[in-house]
């Protein structure tokens, strides 16, 4: 069995400072579940990230000799390394509740799989260290500040699990870039240089959960 190339998202994002790499370089479709506990509090975020063809092919090169999808067992070490490395970056996941500091506990349910289209999907759950009520606006964003990795929510890509009656979730698209920002992004793409710190949040959708 050949070894899977251990190219993690965190490593690639760090490599994004290299002039040889354009921005964005990796594209991810996100599906998130906002998890509630028995007391009706938000207790965690379940993430499912499906990577583009190029990244999927890169990390599985040489892993399968018969053309069949790579097994979840083969991908498990890479899944765990990805999530471990992403801790430094807050897992590219930002949650906010007014007046409260939200922190994640140790990730759970880490897995990776390859589908019949040979696309890789990484799944993991981020429990909150302290569950919070969503009676105030609870917001969720998934983004890379440097925009080396482009995260986009799938259609209906944010849902709730175990939510109390009356809770709702809405997805707000980012405000279109102004002329100067669009020019800067285009220049970054062709030069390979980063468009700037926290540029990614300007292009990040925002999910808002509200409960009565």
Band (pLDDT 50/70/90 cuts) for residue 211 is very high
The four Cα atoms 3, 8, 13, 17 give a dihedral, to 10 degrees, of -30
Residue 10 lies in a domain: no
The boundaries of the domain holding residue 146 are 23-210
Q: Facing residues of 100 across strands?
A: 97
Residue 99 lies in a domain: yes
Residue 164 lies in a domain: yes
Other CB atoms within 10 A of residue 17 CB = 12
Band (pLDDT 50/70/90 cuts) for residue 203 is confident
**22-76: pLDDT as tens digits:** 456 789 999 999 999 999 999 999 999 999 998 888 888 766 666 677 889 988 9
Q: For the chain, what is the domain count?
A: 1
Q: Which two tokens stand for residue 134?
A: 């969503």
Residue 135 lies in a domain: yes
pLDDT at residue 60, as a whole number: 81
Residue 29 lies in a domain: yes
Other CB atoms within 10 A of residue 168 CB = 12
pLDDT at residue 95, as a whole number: 96
Task: Report whether pLDDT(138) > 70.
Answer: yes
Residue 107 lies in a domain: yes
CATH number for the domain spanning 204: value is 2.70.170
In the three-class reduction of DSSP (H, G, I as helix; E, B as strand; rest coil), residue 206 is classed as strand
Task: Report whether pLDDT(210) > 60.
Answer: yes
Residue 14 lies in a domain: no
Residue 9 lies in a domain: no
């Amino acid at each position: 069995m050949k070894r899977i190339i251990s190219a993690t998202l965190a490593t690639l994002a760090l490599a994004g400072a290299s002039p040889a790499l354009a921005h964005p370089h990796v594209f991810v479709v996100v599906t998130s579940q906002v998890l509630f506990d028995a007391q009706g509090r938000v207790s965690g975020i379940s993430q499912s990230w499906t990577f583009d063809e190029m990244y999927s092919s890169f990390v599985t090169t040489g892993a399968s000799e018969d053309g069949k999808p790579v097994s979840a067992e083969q991908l498990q070490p890479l899944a765990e390394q990805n999530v471990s490395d992403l801790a430094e970056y807050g897992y590219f996941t930002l949650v906010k509740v007014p007046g409260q500091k939200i922190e994640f506990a140790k990730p759970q349910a880490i897995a990776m799989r390859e589908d019949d289209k040979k696309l890789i999907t990484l799944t993991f759950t981020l429990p909150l260290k302290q569950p919070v009520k969503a009676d105030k606006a609870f917001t969720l964003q998934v983004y890379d500040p440097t925009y080396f990795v482009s995260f986009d929510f799938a259609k209906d890509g944010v849902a709730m699990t175990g939510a109390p009656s009356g809770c709702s979730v809405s997805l707000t698209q980012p405000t279109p870039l102004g002329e100067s920002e669009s020019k800067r992004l285009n220049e970054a793409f062709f030069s390979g240089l980063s468009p700037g710190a926290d540029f990614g949040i300007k292009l990040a959708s925002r999910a808002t959960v509200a409960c009565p």
